[in-house]
DNA sequence: CCAAAAGCAAGAGCAGTGCTCTCTAAATGT
DNA sequence: ACATTTAGAGAGCACTGCTCTTGCTTTTGG
């Protein structure tokens, strides 16, 4: 469903009549996202200003509101862009990774880590505080936002299938879940079209949140200033530990 | 060093001459933190406004600057307050918990979870995006900020000692670390006065970041709107999984 | 082909923000 | 008792998001 939506949207965009006016509008829109990302990169979110973007465009501030109805919409635009970018990076890494679930998870984790370190402010935008109590409209951000976790769920499902039932059961004791949680999980698994079991998907969700937390701790410098220098080494070790949790050592 | 600093500061505050003016000043300071927290609770950080606090105090905005030199200092005040509050909650829970490392970790995790759910905006202030690219001055925030992780490190060290070397080595394969990381870890262990090994402390740091990530995912609603309803159940399961990672199942 | 409609951009303006400056009055230290 | 420090008021600057009105250009329909 999500994929189809994205594809039709792209097709529509491509086969647009391409009247000069619409074309110019699209160029300006892209320019706005560009300028927004640039502004984000140097000042962080929260300092994102419609007026500054207007200056970048060589317009007066009110003119920008022809393209973006309010500041929150601008934020949403950048969030969607960032989600897509991150998911692209992960997809690319997974395409070049091997077949083993552990390798694939580590490739995913490394790709996310690298992207976060390369774009700390955009990472902040995705996994930090929602700015100014602004909550991103799910219908527009979830499309890209769920792409990576869907990948992780698939890897977890694969790991469970790959190690065989006996082996998996040995290393990973079954977690006990309430019916409500089980129903929620199965709904989401169906949504992502992943064939997995409750245990694997719970591990996947936990590892997912854990991975985000680990990367955030690094990006936000919460482990202390001196930890930043060896951050990538620490992250690599932590990735291995999370792989143990996801797959079993 | 940190502890001594905090203690002398407290002593100084307590034995203050208590001249009526100084007393009034302290009252106003406390009132500012109160109002700040209230404002935080209803609008989230970022909407924190010096002028609104001035209105709450019944002053004109410029008068507030007698107490707080700028907005960032106000934020720092609230961050320190929140760190202390959270650490107090954890300490309280640990005081009532049993002796087993697993119980103690689960008590710590539960206390953090409950606090975060009870004070989502303050949690956001601590572990979300630094507001407006503001980075908290380490010298004032680290004191309270490290109290909880120090507790976790102690639990991890205890778990390692408790299960015995053979048992621990069986469940937890030794992680390979670079000398730089090892040096960093030992420095911090010395700082917290915790007697632990590299493996345990790396697991502790990983579990710590993972725990923060899991709680943040819940507080920020990153797992989807329908996950919030069963959030506490999910968090409980995830806590068990992290306990496995920290201690071994 | 030409008028009507729609879209783009400018400009003024409002309410809000953080923060600085000057000024008055009161409390304080000597 | 007098000089000094201090709390607070008030005006004001530069900035923000956002709205409304006003010209001008492009697109479109008859």
- CATH number, position A218: 1.10.357.10
Among A138, A241, A242, whose Cβ lies nearest the Cβ of B225? A138
Structural domain range at position B225: 87-247
Identify the residue with better confidence: A168 or B35: B35
Residue A76 lies in a domain: no
Residue B77 lies in a domain: no
Indicate if B202 and B97 belong to the same structural domain: yes
CA distance A202 to A206: 6
**pLDDT score of B6:** 40
Of A33, A68, A103, the domain-final residue? A68
Indicate if A166 and A242 belong to the same structural domain: yes
Count CB atoms within 10 A of the CB of residue B180: 13
C-alpha distance from A235 to closest chain B C-alpha (Å): 9
Q: State whether residue B229 sits within 8 Å of chain A by CB.
A: yes
Name residues 96-135 of chain B within 8 A of A (Cβ).
124, 127-133, 135
C-alpha distances in Å from residue B120, one per residue of A165, B218, B220, B236: 40, 10, 8, 18
CB B187 within 8 A of CB B148: no
User: Do the chains contact at A216 and B211, CB–CB below 8 Å?
Assistant: no
- Residue A131, pLDDT > 60, answer no
Q: State whether residue B206 sits within 8 Å of chain A by CB.
A: yes
Chain A residues with CB under 8 Å of B209 CB are 210, 213-214, 216-217, 222-223, 238
Q: Could you say which residues 120-149 of protein chain B have a Cβ atom less than 7 A away from any atom in strand C?
A: none
Residue A79 lies in a domain: no
User: Do the chains contact at A230 and B43, CB–CB below 8 Å?
Assistant: no
Indicate if B93 and B130 belong to the same structural domain: yes
Of B15, B37, B68, the domain-final residue? B68
Of A36, A68, A100, the domain-final residue? A68
Indicate if A174 and A124 belong to the same structural domain: yes
What is the token pair recorded at A197?
């079991």
**pLDDT score of B92:** 97
**pLDDT score of A17:** 54
**pLDDT score of B144:** 66
Task: Give me the half-sphere count of Cα atoms (radius 13 Å) on the Cβ side of residue A57.
Answer: 27
Indicate if A61 and A109 belong to the same structural domain: no
Indicate if B157 and B199 belong to the same structural domain: yes
Residue pairs spanning A and B at CB distance below 8 A: 170
Closest residue to D16 (CA, C1′): A49
Closest residue to D12 (CA, C1′): B62
What is the token pair recorded at A22?
């619409």
What is the token pair recorded at A121?
């402010």
Indicate if B239 and B131 belong to the same structural domain: yes
Indicate if B64 and B175 belong to the same structural domain: no
Indicate if A160 and A57 belong to the same structural domain: no
Indicate if A219 and A158 belong to the same structural domain: yes
Tell me which chain A residue has its CA closest to the CA of residue B132: A46
Indicate if B212 and B102 belong to the same structural domain: yes
Strand extents, DSSP E, chain A: none
Give the model confidence (pLDDT) of A81-92 as tens digits. 999 999 999 999
Indicate if A91 and A60 belong to the same structural domain: no
CATH number of the CATH domain containing A18:
1.10.10
Provide CB contacts within 8 A for A199, sequence distance 6+.
A160, A172, A174, A175
What is the token pair recorded at B245?
């990672």
Domain total in chain A? 2
Across chain A, which distance is largest between two alpha carbons, in Å? 67
Positions of chain B with pLDDT under 50 = 1-14, 16, 133, 163-170
CA distance A8 to A2: 10
């Amino acid at each position: 469903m999500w994929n189809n939506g994205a594809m039709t949207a792209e097709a529509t965009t491509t086969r647009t009549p391409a009247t000069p006016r619409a074309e110019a509008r699209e160029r300006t829109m892209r320019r706005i996202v560009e300028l927004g990302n640039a502004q984000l990169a140097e000042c962080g979110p929260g300092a994102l200003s419609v007026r500054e973007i207007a200056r970048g465009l060589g317009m007066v501030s009110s003119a920008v509101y022809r393209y973006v109805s309010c500041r929150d919409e601008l934020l949403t635009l950048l969030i969607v862009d960032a989600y897509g970018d991150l998911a692209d990076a992960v997809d690319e890494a997974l395409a070049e990774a091997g077949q083993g679930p552990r390798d694939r998870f580590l490739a995913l984790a490394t790709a996310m880590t690298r992207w976060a370190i390369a774009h700390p402010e955009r990472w902040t935008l995705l996994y930090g505080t929602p700015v100014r109590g602004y909550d991103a409209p799910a219908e527009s951000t979830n499309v890209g936002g769920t792409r990576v976790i869907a990948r992780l769920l698939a890897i977890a499902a694969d790991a469970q299938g790959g190690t065989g039932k006996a082996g998996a059961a040995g290393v990973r004791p079954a977690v006990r879940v309430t019916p409500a949680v089980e129903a929620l999980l199965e709904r989401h698994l169906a949504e992502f079209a992943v064939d997995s079991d409750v245990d694997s998907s719970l591990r996947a969700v936990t590892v997912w949140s854990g991975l985000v937390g680990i990367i955030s701790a690094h990006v936000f410098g919460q482990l202390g200033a001196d930890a930043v220098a060896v951050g990538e080494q620490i992250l690599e070790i932590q990735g291995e530990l999370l792989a143990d949790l996801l797959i079993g050592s």
